Structure 1
Amino acid sequence: MGENVKVIVRCRPMNRKEIDKKSDSIVEIGDYAVSVVNPLARSAPRKSFTFDSVYNGLSKTETIYNDMCYSLVESTLEGYNGTIFAYGQTGCGKTHTMQGEGYSDAAENNGIIQRCFDHIFETISIATSVRYLALVSYLEIYNENIRDLLSANEPNSFKNHPLKDVPGVGVTVPTLTTQAVMNAMDCYNWLSVGNKNRITGATLMNEKSSRSHTIFTISLEQIQESAAAPPNLSSDQTIGNIRRGKLNLVDLAGSERQSKTGAFGDRLKEATKINLSLSALGNVISALVDSKTKHVPYRDSKLTRLLQDSLGGNTKTLMVACISPADSNYDETLSTLRYACRAKNISNVPTINEDPKDAQLRQYQEEILNLKRMLDESQQHESAVHYKFVEDNNKERERELWLEEAKSQMRQQMIAEMRNLKETTAEAANPKTEHSEQAVPQEQEDFQLHARKRIDLIKHSLIGGERVDDLQLRERHRMRKLEAKRHLSAIARALGRVESEDRDLLQGHYASIQQEINIKNERIKKCSQKIKMLEREVADLNSEFQLDREDYLDEIRYLGIQNKYWRIRFGMMISKPGNYPKTLKIT
């Protein structure tokens, strides 16, 4: 069954610059609606938009998370894909909503991402009969290049990672660094590492403006406990059923106008790329809700390709539209609300990811089975050597069989590692020496020790059930989950009430003819008002298009002037190299 993208709006409070300028507030917040007043025509009717939830400047991130994010994160623990992303103009509170003020002892300062960490590992700790493997990755889309924020060498290399469309999996970045995590603190640490590598810059509208889009991904693979106990698996047992849920936490860079941000040079280039990718995102949203459009332009940018499954695919998606209340940001606020209103009509078809072929858990279990099989063979071989006298030629035969068995990648790697640590490798290679008679048994013993350590390491990488006896925690978790479901049900009832009234009107439930006339006259008035509102909407869209066009033309002119300046300058340097310092090199 299809499920629409859920959209909420968060309006930040006035910032210091807006207060100093004595800006007026043009936004009014209701329970599920946002009304915007045109500051140039305050007598004109307000523009109203309805969403799944709306939050004012006094709302806390904790409230938003409990109301709208809790159920989605619970779904990823059951094997669904989930995406939470913040959208809006620069300086409207997207990064504050997603990441808060960074990790601190004060929980109220945490953003949605940190709360997801706490929620996920709290739920895993009280899970019964299920074991989890948690993996994280963190990428950045900067100037249409994908950067790995968890790689130690990435900040200096600026490597562009390629995208790959994998059947049954979707669009992925296979070369990204993936880190296993055991608890929420591990996630905090990796998020902090990635944020240090992330690119930010100052503009007139935001001192710490995000100059890139980022996606922090948590992959949760799960398996039933009976199949998740590696030490008890025998070589003839099959691998159990595996589920994998994936949660994408997206912090988008904000749309910008050059006239407001004062961007130039690298900042202007960054803003141009940001605006182009956000424009591509808007085109994808528009195409998905337009029944006449057959082609959805996912390939227009790296951002839309990575969000392809989140918009019209197999994902439960929540969009957080962040807006400013100041009258100076009227056009940007209205544009954000329009895109958000379109996005809520996108329908996804989320399903549980059963038995993924590329699951890391499957690779781990296959490795465990191979290690146990080789351990059994090694023990049998050791027993035969201990209890039976073997001639020199038979020893050579056994040695050949052992080396042939070691051709498998896992065993060959372990044996090579052991040999490199020995100083007597050259002597061990001679089967006729006295030392060589003990080389194979010693090598077998080292291999067995290494294999058992590897099995224990894999076993301990699986988490779950650490606090299963904490009844207070289990009850608190149950109540939060129940409250989140109640809130979503209340939203569905509230938004469905208008549709019910329309159905009653069409079905003709009237007490008398006069009542029918009165109700239909009211309906005609509402329709007339709606027509006028749509006409004004068309005029506003034309005006917004002209503003965007002028902004893009200004950027093109500026970049053209820059390009012409540098071409002339480099031409003079080539034609008259003597006028410039000898240390200057032209490549």
Structure 2
Amino acid sequence: MGENVKVIVRCRPMNRKEIDNKSDSIVEIGDYVVSVVNPLARTAPRKSFTFDSVYNGLSKTETIYNDMCYSLVESTLEGYNGTIFAYGQTGCGKTHTMQGEGYSDTAENNGIIQRCFDHIFETISIATSVRFLALVSYLEIYNENIRDLLSANEPNSIRNHPLKDVPGVGVTVPTLTTQAVMNAIDCYNWLSVGNKNRITGATLMNEKSSRSHTIFTISLEQIQESAAAPTNLSSDQTIGGIRRGKLNLVDLAGSERQSKTGAFGDRLKEATKINLSLSALGNVISALVDGKTKHVPYRDSKLTRLLQDSLGGNTKTLMVACISPADSNYDETLSTLRYACRAKNISNVPTINEDPKDAQLRQYQEEILNLKRMLDESQQHESAVHYKFVEDNNKERELWLEEAKSQMRQQMIAEMRDLKETTGEAANPNTEHSEQAVPKEQEDFQLHARKRIDLIKHALIGGERVDDLQLRERHRMRKLEAKRHLSAIARALGRVESEDRDLLQGHYASIQQEINIKNERIKKCSQKIKMLEREVADLNSEFQLDREDYLDEIRYLGRHLKFYQLLIHKAQPILRKNGRNWNPEQILENSFWNDDLKTWKLPKDIENNLKLPPADLKLGFQKKKVFVNKELDTYLGAPDETDSTESKESTVGIFIIITDQPYNSVF
């Protein structure tokens, strides 16, 4: 059964700068309705938008979480996929909503992400007969490059991690670091590590503006406790009963106008990429809502590809639209509300993820089975060694090595052999020492295997506070309260639709009542027509602003493109390939455009072809000294008489000597 994306709106309070500038508030918050007045036409009717829930500047993140997020996070513990993302203009409170002001003992300033940690591990701790494996990852999309925020080497070497579309799984980043966590504190620590690696910058609208989109993912795999450590499972049987829920917590960078943020240099380049990815997100939302459009442009951006399953896929999605109340941000606030209103009509089909093929728990189960099977075989072999090891030592050793094909036993045997070589002992199986080595290796392997099994079991969590009746009751009450709130929202929104249907069906007690009601409807329709006309005018104005922004970006990119073209044109005469001038067009024909990474792949031999030829020492130094300007005079001494042709040749020769490097290292 389909489920629409849930959309809520949060309006932040006025900040200090807006108060100092004496900005007026243009936003009015009602019951499930946000109204906005045009500061240039205050007498005109307000533009109203209806959402699943709305919150004013006095609202707390705790209220938002309990009302709208609690049920979604609870569903991920049942095996569903969930996504919570904040959307809106820069400086309107997205990061504050998602991450708050950091972790504190009181938890009052915690954002949605930290509250998700507490909620998830509280539920896991009171789970009965179920074991969980919790894994986290944290990525950043910066200038359309995917960075791993949990990797220790990532800050020093920015890497563009590739995306991969896996059938049955969706779009993933296979090279991303995944960390196992045992409790909420582990999640806080990894979130803190990632935030230190995240790129931020100051603009006129926000001193700590996010310059990238981030996605913190929690994967929760669960299995019944009886199946967590299988014992009697044959090799041809499949391991089942695994469910996996995944929660994506997305903090988007805000849309920006260069005239307001004062961005330039790197900040302007970042803003260009941010706006393009958010435009791609808006196009995806529009395409999903428009029933006539068959193609949904997910591939236009890394962000939309990663959110593909959250928008129109197998995920329960909550969108938090953050807006500013100031009249100076009227255009951005109205644009955010329009996008949010469209997103309400996106329909997802969430289903429980049963027995995923790539589940880590499945791999752990198989490893436990193999280790236990090998332990049993090792113990059986050890009892046989006591009776016939001396007379048939070589045969027993070969059989034992054939059975021990797993990586762990091979590693143990290699370590024992290295130890014997370092001590100078001969590895002869016919000696008395070798007769004792096999039981010693078996004993070490058994100890290592048991430790590995205990380590895997320790990674599974659940039921640590199952006897805490107070905690279980509090969790049950919060769950019921969240369900009641969602039911109240559904009834309120259904009541509005019911009233509209009654008016259309036309149930009247008398002709006079019919006339009055129809006159009232005519007035409402007239007002709606006028409102739509103003809406068209506003949209045209907004499109014009967007057009100007795109033109600015095109001019910016065009200037850089012309610069690189000029650089290539000037460098081309001194670059040689098989005695002929190096041809960029020919290289372009042999290059490949990687649509996933949005980069060019040059031919393999291009680097060798781009190297400059070796310097001709005779040309540079054995000829008469030639100079064409005062700088070369200073470098080589007094000039001699020569013609212009020789000057050019000598200049080229000197240039080659100084810059005998690959092309890409020079330019």
1:276 aligns with 2:303: no
State whether residues 32 and 54 of structure 2, in contact with CA within 8 Å, keep that contact through their aligned partners in structure 1. yes
* CA distance in structure 1 between the partners assigned to 2:424 and 2:68 by the alignment: 66
Task: Specify the SS of the correspondent of 1:578.
Answer: coil
Answer yes or no: is the 8 Å Cα contact 2:231–2:369 preserved in 1: no
Q: How many positions carry a matched residue from both structures? A: 575
Structure 1 291/330 Cα, relative in aligned 2: closer, same or farther at 3 Å? same
Are the counterparts in 2 of residues 214 and 250 from structure 1 also a CA contact under 8 Å?
Answer: yes
Q: Does the 8 Å contact 1:84/1:320 carry over to 2?
A: yes
- Report the alpha carbon displacement of residue 563 of structure 1 after superposing the two structures with TM: 26
Instruction: State the alpha-carbon separation in 2 of the partners of residues 216 and 236 from structure 1.
Output: 37
**Paired residues of 1:235 and 1:373 also in contact (CA < 8 A):** no
User: Does structure 1 conserve the Cα–Cα contact (< 8 Å) formed by 2:8 and 2:51?
Assistant: yes
1:106, CA displacement in angstroms? 2.4
Deviation at 1:405, TM superposition (A): 2.4
Higher mean Cα deviation, 406-415 or 73-82?
406-415
For the structure 1 residues 565 and 6, does the alpha-carbon distance in structure 2 shift closer, same or farther, using more than 3 Å as the test?
Answer: closer
Q: Secondary structure at the match of 1:7?
A: strand
Q: CA deviation at 1:408?
A: 2.7
Residues 34, 50 of structure 2: 8 Å contact kept: yes
Q: Which runs of 5+ in 1 are unaligned?
A: 567-576
- Normalising by structure 2, we get a TM-score of 0.82
Contact 1:138 1:148 in 2 (8 A): yes
Q: Please tell me whether the aligned partners of residues 427 and 433 of structure 1 are also in contact (alpha carbons under 8 angstroms).
A: no
Q: 1:357 to 1:393 in 2, by over 3 A?
A: closer
| Contact 2:374-2:404 within 8 A present in 1 as well | no
CA–CA distance in structure 2, aligned partners of residues 580 and 429 of structure 1: 51
* Max Rg structure: 2
Q: CA deviation at 1:304?
A: 0.2
Cα pair distance change 1:389/1:486, threshold 3 Å? closer
1:307 matches 2:298:
no
Percent identity among equivalent residues? 95
Secondary structure of 1:459's partner? helix
Assess, with a 3 A threshold, how the Cα gap between structure 1 residues 223 and 583 changes in structure 2: closer, same or farther.
Answer: closer
- Structure 2: unaligned runs, 5 residues or longer: 559-587, 594-602, 612-665
Instruction: Provide the secondary structure at the position in 2 that maps to 1:313.
Output: coil
CA shift in 2, pair 1:415/1:452, >3 Å? same
Secondary structure, aligned partner of 2:604? helix
Check conservation: 1:136, 1:181, Cα contact below 8 A: yes
Deviation at 1:435, TM superposition (A): 1.5
Q: 1:86 to 1:388 in 2, by over 3 A?
A: same
Instruction: Report the CA distance between 1:412 and its aligned residue.
Output: 1.8
Distance of aligned partners of 1:487 and 1:408 in 2 relative to their CA distance in 1, 3 Å threshold: same
Deviations 1:355-412 (A, max 9, x none): 10110000000000000000000001111011335326645xx222222223333432
1:221–1:243 contact (8 Å) kept in structure 2: yes
Distance 1:265 1:381 in 2: 71
Q: 1:565 to 1:319 in 2, by over 3 A?
A: closer
**Does structure 2 retain, via aligned residues, the 8 Å contact 1:140–1:212?**
yes
Distance in 2 between the 1:233 and 1:581 partners? 55
Cα deviation, residue 513, structure 1: 2.1
Deviations 1:332-362 (A, max 9, x none): 0000000000000000000000110110000
1:552: Cα distance to partner? Answer: 2.6
Deviation per CA, 1:435-456: give whole Å up to 9, x if none.
2111111111000000000000
Contact persistence 1:37–1:46 (CA under 8 A): yes
Task: For CA contacts below 8 A with separation 6 or more, give which structure has more relative contact order.
Answer: 1
Cα deviation, residue 55, structure 1: 0.3
State the 1:213 CA deviation: 0.3
User: SS where residue 421 of structure 2 aligns?
Assistant: coil
Over 3 Å counting, the alpha-carbon distance change for 1:579 and 1:409 in structure 2 is: closer
- Please, which moves more after superposition, 551-560 or 74-83? 551-560
Q: CA offset at residue 237 of structure 1? A: 7.4
**1:504–1:85 Cα change, 3 Å:** same
* SS of aligned partner of 1:137: strand
> Mean Cα displacement is larger for which, 433-442 or 271-280?
433-442
1:71-124 per-residue CA deviation (whole Å, 9 max, x = no partner) reads 000000000000000000100000000000011112111000000000000000
Q: Which whole-Å CA distance do the structure 1 matches of 2:406 and 2:463 have between them?
A: 35
Change (3 A) 1:16 1:563: farther
Contact 1:72–1:82 under 8 Å retained in 2: yes
Give the whole-Å Cα distance in 1 for the aligned partners of 2:421 and 2:35: 78
Contact 1:418–1:446 (8 Å) recurs in 2: no
Instruction: Say whether the 8 Å CA contact 1:211–1:253 is kept in structure 2.
Output: yes
User: CA 1:304 to 1:583, structure 2 compared with 1: closer, same or farther past 3 Å?
Assistant: closer
Cα distance, 1:313–1:565 mapped onto 2, change above 3 Å:
closer
Per-residue deviation at 1:421? 5.7
- Cα 1:299/1:584, change in 2 over 3 Å: closer
Whole-angstrom distance in 1 between the partners of 2:418 and 2:69: 52
**Cα–Cα, structure 1 residues 385 and 537, in superposed 2: closer, same or farther, change >3 Å?**
same
**Change over 3 Å in CA distance of 1:539–1:219 after alignment to 2:** same
SS, match of residue 308 in structure 1: coil
Q: 1:431 to 1:124 in 2, by over 3 A?
A: same
Alpha-carbon distance, 1:548 to partner: 1.5
Q: Contact 1:78/1:352 (CA < 8 Å) preserved in 2? A: yes
Aligned to 1:578: 604
Give me the CA root mean square deviation. 4.4
Matches of 2:413 and 2:394, distance apart in 1: 22
CA distance in 2 between partners of 1:82 and 1:580 (Å):
46
